Amino acid sequence: MTAKTAEDQDKAAVMTQEDGVVQPSRTSAVEALSVSVQFGGVRALDDVSLRVAEGEIHGLIGPNGAGKSTLVNVVAGEQRPTSGRVLLAGEDVTGSRPQHIARRGLARTFQHPQLAGRLTVGENLDMSRRFARSRASTGATPHEQWAAGVLAEMELETWLDVLCSQAPYPVLKVADTVRALLTRPKVLLSDEPAAGLPADDRAKLVDVLRSAQSELDTTIVLIEHDVPLVFSVCSRITVLDSGKVVTSGASGEVQKHPEVIKAYLGVET
């Protein structure tokens, strides 16, 4: 599969309006529609909408406290919105349990790898394979073949029999992403995959995400503080600040937005 063009993704993200009611696009993998979250007197999200087209890598950036984690928690079912809706491949999953949403094809990684320390790297990956096969009784899949290729290419096969509690951090970061993708998700929420990694390992992890998009047709929402990395890999980007959307669109256009230039480049416009 080849990566979808920016024009295709723009078309996929369009919302239509009928009888005064906004209708979700049929080609969107994930949509958050006018989502708000209130914690007491604090409004963590204020009428936020996010539209991610099938097969794209969509960046989600913003300063600490912008609402990124809250939005991702809402999409993953870990936080119920005060108002608004969440759709996964057109299905309304608002308020559904995380297990239900996972079985509908969404996987998530966190800033700190969520691997069982008492198990080996390989055993953690096997748990994801078993989860995937519980959803569909098939043999080896393109995801498993892809994972084997990634592990071989990055020379991580020697770590498969090592306890996660004893494996180095870069190995755990890659293994955590591979673990999530072995569940055969349609959508991956990748939360700061490059955090804590040296430059060489960041580049390798970006290659993993790109290959997952192109070879597995996985839609990826990338939450990352490394803004140059986001602009280099994402075709579309949504910027949050203080619980609101600052701008959302094609990467090149977002880079030109005055507030983005000021916040990330330190230049007044």
pLDDT at residue number 9? 43
- Tally of structural domains, the chain: 1
Rounded Cα distance between 258 and 269, Å, is 6
Give domain status of residue 195, yes or no. Answer: yes
Give domain status of residue 248, yes or no. Answer: yes
pLDDT at residue number 137? 55
> What would the two tokens of residue 45 be?
């999200």
Rounded Cα distance between 51 and 262, Å, is 25
Give domain status of residue 164, yes or no. Answer: no
pLDDT in tens, 109-147: 988 999 999 999 999 999 998 888 776 655 567 899 999
For residue 71, the one-letter residue type is L
Beta-sheet strand order (sheet of 28-39): 42-53, 28-39, 83-88, 91-92
Please determine, for residue 3, whether its predicted confidence score (pLDDT) is greater than 50: no
Could you tell me which residue, 265 or 61, shows the higher pLDDT?
61
Cα 121–chain centre separation: 22
pLDDT in tens, 224-246: 988 889 999 999 999 999 999 99
pLDDT at residue number 111? 87
Question: First and final CA of the chain: distance in angstroms?
Answer: 40
Q: Could you tell me if 18 and 244 are in contact, meaning their C-beta atoms sit under 8 angstroms apart? A: no
CA neighbours within 13 Å on the CB side: how many for 21? 3
Provide the domain limits for residue 90: 6-13+23-113+186-265
Give domain status of residue 226, yes or no. Answer: yes
Give domain status of residue 18, yes or no. Answer: no
Give domain status of residue 214, yes or no. Answer: yes
Q: Could you tell me if 88 and 79 are in contact, meaning their C-beta atoms sit under 8 angstroms apart? A: no
> What would the two tokens of residue 69 be?
């984690």
Q: Could you tell me if 61 and 222 are in contact, meaning their C-beta atoms sit under 8 angstroms apart? A: no
CATH of the domain at 210: 3.40.50.300
Rounded Cα distance between 174 and 151, Å, is 9
Give domain status of residue 108, yes or no. Answer: yes
Q: What is the mean pLDDT of residues 170-194?
A: 93
Residues in the chain: 269
What is the DSSP annotation of 87-147?
EETTEE-TT--HHHHHHTTEEEE-SS----TTSBHHHHHHHHHHHHHHHS--SS-HHHHHH
Could you tell me which residue, 160 or 4, shows the higher pLDDT?
160
Give domain status of residue 227, yes or no. Answer: yes
SS3 state of residue 10 = helix
**Residue 260: CB partners within 8 Å, gap ≥ 6?**
239, 246, 247, 254
